[in-house]
Amino acid sequence: MELRSLSASSFPPCYCVKRRLVLLTLVYLLSCDVKVPPVEAKIVERDQDTFECLTEANPDANVTWSRSDGPLPQSAEADGGKLKLQSISSDLNGLYQCEASNQYGKKHSQLYVHVPSGSCTVCWVIFGLALIASCVVAAVVYYFKFLRNEESPQRVPTSEPEEAPGEADTNI
């Protein structure tokens, strides 16, 4: 017999009725213990930084968390069915999986975490320094190319042309 989509709470108490010919009906209350593998594993968000893997099973399922590319990062803590992301940073990025299992079966569910990289303080500092350095270089180039030439004395042309080197006065 195969049972699908059932949980431990799906079964009412079992009764056994035995009749005798003496018009006496005896009712026996029996305890039914139906073993059920995890029906599903469902991840729900409890807080902004806490997730829980929920399942129904009999006996109760053990829940474990893992990450597809290796062990959980130090800033992620698994405690039973809960996964707590302690410090929100990009090292948390990845695919997480919860596994609910008992001796009768197991189910998986996955959670993808992506923490967008916010403002990079070091990047902005480097950008600012590079911008200041470019302005200083541009000011130095401007000074040497334009202003320095205006401050230096300029030669005033005379009415007599200068002799070219090597030419002698040939008027005798």
Cα 3 from Cα 26, distance rounded (Å): 30
Q: What is the pLDDT of residue 127?
A: 80
DSSP one-letter code for 70: B
Tell me, yes or no, whether 92 and 140 share the same domain: no
Cα 109 from Cα 100, distance rounded (Å): 9
Q: Which of 62, 90, 113 is the last residue of a domain?
A: 113
131 inside domain: yes
Tell me, yes or no, whether 108 and 131 share the same domain: no
Q: Report residues of the chain scoring pLDDT below 50.
A: 1-8, 17
pLDDT digits (tens, 9 = 90+) for 19-65: 555 555 666 677 778 899 999 999 999 988 999 999 999 999 999 99
Tell me, yes or no, whether 51 and 65 share the same domain: yes
Tell me, yes or no, whether 48 and 103 share the same domain: yes
Which structural domain, as residue segments, surrounds residue 103?
A: 42-113
Which pTM value belongs to this model? 0.54
DSSP one-letter code for 143: I
Tell me, yes or no, whether 144 and 95 share the same domain: no
Tell me, yes or no, whether 108 and 55 share the same domain: yes
Q: What radius of gyration do the chain's Cα atoms show?
A: 43
Short-list 73, 77, 68, 78, CA closest to 92: 73
Count the domains in the chain: 2
